[in-house]
Amino acid sequence: MGGHWGTRVDIQIFGESHGRGLGIVIAGLPAGESADMAEVARQMARRAPGNEISTARREPDQVEIISGIKDGVTTGSPICGMILNTDARTQDYRAMQTSPRPGHADFTAHARYEGHADMAGGGHFSGRITASLVLAGALTRQYLARRRIVIGGHVASIGGIADRRFETMGADVADFARLYAMDLPVLEEAKGTDMRQLILEAKEEGDSVGGVVEVMACHLPVGLGEPFFDSLESQISHLLFSIPAVKGVEFGDGFALTTMRGSKANDAYKNCDGSPCLATNHCGGALGGLSSGTPLIVRVAFKPTPSIALPQDSVTFADGSASRISVPGRHDPCVVPRAVVVVESVVAMALTDAWLCRYGEKG
Ligand SMILES: Cc1cc2nc3c(=O)[nH]c(=O)nc-3n(C[C@H](O)[C@H](O)[C@H](O)COP(=O)(O)O)c2cc1C
């Protein structure tokens, strides 16, 4: 199984949901960068389950740094961080060894790894692996914050109930601290109440719901990224599609741009202290694969959680005979609230890589 990404920041993930643990190796972060582990713990806590709208599995998600950080400062050697599993219940996953769960990776992984993949709790395909991404994000967002770049996100919609969108020129940056503190982060609290209700209803029915996460990165300089294959949008999307359950990504006005005239879709220029800058942000922060100086805004679509209690059709691996599968165990009725910090984290990873590509270790 491959789990490798990055140009200057070089990242490798490992682990399984019900194995000993999981973790990440991050090479390429320059030496001498301070790494506040209390802040890392705060970010990890944002993803960890612990309320009625998430899985009942309880994991402290405590990070153990094996290498690369000493006395709260990066040493320049690869950073290895591990998170041990403490609350696995492998017996819940026996049925998936004989019949694949609809919507999960059991079927494709069984074919690819010829039945050898450890699929208990989703194995390496589990949403639990995103804890490693949050660890990488918690370190890289500290690196970016020292360069003024801040990243925040919210639940843009769940099952069709929509929060208002981020104001496109970045005014909502003032709300990031409030959003970080919420277990279902929304700009309009009444929408959050409705979303929570919908998640609880789906859970009660043994079903699940999906939704959209919107993330914004503010104070980017003009010109981060590369044209073509390594465009800023390509790099961010590459990481976003690595997050389990992600099915769609749009930047700025995204698909809505297809219904506009050029005269409305284009972002006109204005004078900012003697240099050109964008007066609007339909592009979502990137032009020609390079950051445009406006906030980078991305929306990410998550499908409903595949593991549901309602019975569904499947077949046995052994002989293809029909079976019905009702997934026991502890699952998120909606992955979206916990995914907000995951999306922020991969955006931080991509922007740090782009920053190091552009400005180097001394930048
Ligand atoms: C934060 C997070 C939590 C998740 N929790 C669950 C879960 O409890 N049960 C489940 O079946 N899928 C969960 N998923 C989604 C599956 O891991 C994912 O749908 C599956 O690996 C198949 O991959 P795909 O949907 O990208 O094709 C979660 C995803 C994320 C990002």
Which pLDDT tens digit goes with each residue over 280-294? 999 999 999 999 999
Tokens of 66: 């094996």
pLDDT of residue 93: 67
Q: Does the CB atom of residue 305 touch ligand 1 within 6 A?
A: yes
Question: Is the backbone of residue 28 left (phi > 0), alpha (psi -120 to 50) or beta?
Answer: left
- In this prediction, residue 97 has a pLDDT band, given cuts at 50, 70 and 90, of confident
Best CA proximity match to 209, nearest among 143, 257, 171, 159: 159
CA of 68 relative to ligand 1 center, distance in Å: 30
CB-based burial of residue 168 (10 Å sphere; 0-12 exposed, 13-18 middle, 19+ buried)?
A: buried
pLDDT tens for residues 252-278?
Answer: 999 999 999 999 999 999 999 999 999
pLDDT of residue 215: 99
Residue 81, pLDDT > 90, answer yes
Q: Does the CB atom of residue 291 touch ligand 1 within 6 A?
A: no
Residue 89, pLDDT > 90, answer no
Residue 49, pLDDT > 90, answer no
Q: Alpha helix (H) ranges present in 99-175?
A: 106-112, 130-145
- In this prediction, residue 167 has a pLDDT band, given cuts at 50, 70 and 90, of very high
CB-based burial of residue 17 (10 Å sphere; 0-12 exposed, 13-18 middle, 19+ buried)?
A: buried
Q: Among 16, 104, 238, say which to mutate for ligand 1: greatest number of ligand atoms within 8 Å of CB.
A: 104
Q: Does the CB atom of residue 104 touch ligand 1 within 6 A?
A: yes
pLDDT: is 218 or 56 the higher one? Answer: 218
Check if the beta carbon of residue 71 is closer than 8 Å to that of residue 90.
no
Q: How far is it, in rounded angstroms, from Cα 135 to Cα 215?
A: 18
Q: How far is it, in rounded angstroms, from Cα 158 to Cα 202?
A: 11
Cβ-based neighbours of 64, under 8 Å, separated by 6 or more: 81, 82, 83, 84
Tokens of 329: 């165990």
Residue 224, pLDDT > 90, answer yes
Check if the beta carbon of residue 186 is closer than 8 Å to that of residue 252.
no
Tokens of 6: 């990055």
Q: Does the CB atom of residue 105 touch ligand 1 within 6 A?
A: yes
Residue 228, pLDDT > 90, answer yes
Q: Does the CB atom of residue 307 touch ligand 1 within 6 A?
A: yes
CA of 242 relative to ligand 1 center, distance in Å: 11
Residue 90, pLDDT > 70, answer yes
Q: Does the CB atom of residue 292 touch ligand 1 within 6 A?
A: no
Q: Does the CB atom of residue 281 touch ligand 1 within 6 A?
A: no
Residue 328, pLDDT > 90, answer no
Ligand 1 atom closest to the Cα of residue 331 is 8
Residue 234 φ/ψ, nearest 5 degrees: -65, -45
pLDDT tens for residues 106-116?
Answer: 999 999 999 89
Q: What is the CA radius of gyration of the chain?
A: 21
Average pLDDT over residues 126-153: 97
Residue 275 φ/ψ, nearest 5 degrees: -120, 155
Of all protein residues, the one whose alpha carbon is nearest to atom 19 of ligand 1 is: 245
